[in-house]
Chains A and B, each alone.
Chain A
């Protein structure tokens, strides 16, 4: 049985099935991310004054990832143009670049996640706070039994609020050094995971959902670049439609990041 309008558009709508389908799917995606952006606004405005973080993420790394994703958008559109012009070699080249850029994005994001999961805020017994990346944990370290010590590369502050705004002018003078803290002097320590602060909770939720979209998109594009190209020989028109539909999804992924970058990294 042949399904109608797989390749040729319907006369009334002017669209083939997959194209209408992907736009309806993207409409639902707008509302999904919209709800999370709304949650971000409510969490940010609801935070105690001075307790919403600024400068916790690395701006050059975020900028690099933005440029990677924008570049992948143009390689995707160039892959589609190549299909339209029936230039198979060029299509393979541009979509190989898209896949490489997607992998680059995920690698950079993984590096950022690793950075957060090795970053600790330590509440000291004397009421001060130490903050930095874990360098070493002694073999006998046990916070409950008060044995051993940890070494972090960071700095100490008197108030927790001083850890929040790393964009303030005084934050530029912070000297980071290796600090060894015995377990007896530690009241509480916690890594910068989603549980540490509502900012990190919404950061991980938004970026992990976005990274999931990047991975899913890369898998689909990878399929169309590899085994899926069989259709190029049998039905190039339908194959070109598939490239267009996967491209529309990929541009949406780029679109979401265009808003995530300033909201999470810069503001």
Chain B
């Protein structure tokens, strides 16, 4: 991590405020009926994903990390996506996976 990053306090405060705003937005959106439960779930998870990106990218400095860390987290993202993909796939009526 370069030294100039340590002084980006303003950036950290901006991320903090964005996370608070995201939390308020999530709660507000949960009281709105968008037409179907699926849309409500998609909205809540989209906001959560944006908040997660802010934490990982800026608080955990993944945005300026070394290649080795990207490699480790790339594998993790792949297996996590596979786990969630298989979970969703198993819910389809014509799925080859039966639960």
Contact = CB atoms under 8 A, between A and B. Distances in A.
Contact of B69 (A23, A42, A262, A267): A23
A70 B67 CA distance: 28
A18 interface: no
Contacts of B16: 70-71, 73-74
B27 A23 contact: no
B96 interface: no
Nearest to B91: A45
Contacts of B9: 78, 81
Contact of B59 (A13, A20, A46, A251): A251
Nearest to A28: B76
A170 to B, nearest CB: 15
B59 A38 contact: no
A24 to B, nearest CB: 6
A255 B76 contact: no
A255 B6 contact: no
Interface string A226-264: 000000000000000000000110011011001101110
Contact of A59 (B19, B27, B40, B59): B27
Interface in A63-111: 63, 66-67, 70-71, 73-74, 76-78, 80-81, 84-85
Contact of A77 (B12, B24, B52): B12
A35 interface: yes
A30 interface: yes
Interface residues on A, range: 35 or more
A189 interface: no
A263 B20 CA distance: 17
Contacts of A34: 80, 83-84
Interface residues on B, range: 35 or more
Contacts of B84: 34, 37-38
Contact of A63 (B15, B23, B40, B68): B23
B3 A84 contact: yes
Contact of A41 (B47, B55, B88): B88
B7 A81 contact: yes
Contacts of A81: 6-7, 9, 12
A81 B66 CA distance: 19
Contacts of A248: 60
Contacts of A261: 23, 26, 48
Given A20-B68, A27-B76, A46-B99, A41 B87 contact: yes
Given A15-B66, A84-B3, 10 more contacts: A13-B68, A20-B68, A23-B72, A24-B72, A73-B16, A73-B59, A78-B9, A255-B55, A259-B52, A262-B26
Interface of B: 3, 6-7, 9, 12-13, 15-16, 19-20, 23-24, 26-27, 30, 37, 40-41, 44-45, 47-48, 51-52, 55-56, 59-60, 66-69, 72-73, 75-76, 79-80, 83-84, 87-88, 90-91, 99
Nearest first, the 3 A-B pairs at minimum CB distance are A266-B30, A84-B6, A262-B44
